[in-house]
């Protein structure tokens, strides 16, 4: 890789604070995932192939699923190729959607 011979490497499309957290994670193997950082941390962890952090972000988002955010989480999971989270969020959306039952309202024959 040409980067190995350079004194400076520019990382594009990565949040500086997320990168700082990931560097600390590399040294300590500890990271706190929360509402304030999950949306920047997950893409950065994916880019840098830090699968443990990526999985922790997906697990956090799964624990936060509710009717007000399930579509957003489903879209975010799709964008970032988090297949298990995408499946879970999609299933959650279908359970909330009364028309998700074959085009019939729940309780109709």
Tokens linked to 9? 């490497």
Max CA distance (Å), the chain: 69
Q: What is the pLDDT of residue 97?
A: 75
CB neighbour list of residue 88: distance below 8 Å, 6 or more residues apart: 62, 65
Q: What own/partner pairs with CB < 8 Å and gap ≥ 24 does 83-92 have? A: 84/58, 85/58, 85/61, 88/62, 89/62, 89/65, 92/65
Q: What is the pLDDT of residue 106?
A: 45
Tell me the mean pLDDT in the region 3-23.
88
Give the pLDDT confidence of 41-59 residue by residue, as tens digits: 999 999 999 999 999 999 9
Give the pLDDT confidence of 31-44 residue by residue, as tens digits: 999 999 999 999 99
Instruction: Give the DSSP letter of residue 13.
Output: S
User: Does the model's pTM come out above 0.85?
Assistant: no
What residue ranges define each of the domains in the chain, with the CATH number in brackets? 2-96 (3.30.710.10)
């Amino acid at each position: 890789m040409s980067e190995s011979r350079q004194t400076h490497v520019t990382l594009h499309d990565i949040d500086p604070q997320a990168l700082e957290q990931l560097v600390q994670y590399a040294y300590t193997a500890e990271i706190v995932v929360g509402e304030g950082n999950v949306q920047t941390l997950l893409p950065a962890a994916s880019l840098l192939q830090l699968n443990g952090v990526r999985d922790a972000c997906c697990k956090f988002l799964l624990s936060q699923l509710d009717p007000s955010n399930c579509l957003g989480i489903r879209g975010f999971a799709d964008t970032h190729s988090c297949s298990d989270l995408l499946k879970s969020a999609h299933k959650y959306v279908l359970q909330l959607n009364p028309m998700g039952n074959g085009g019939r309202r729940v309780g109709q024959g």
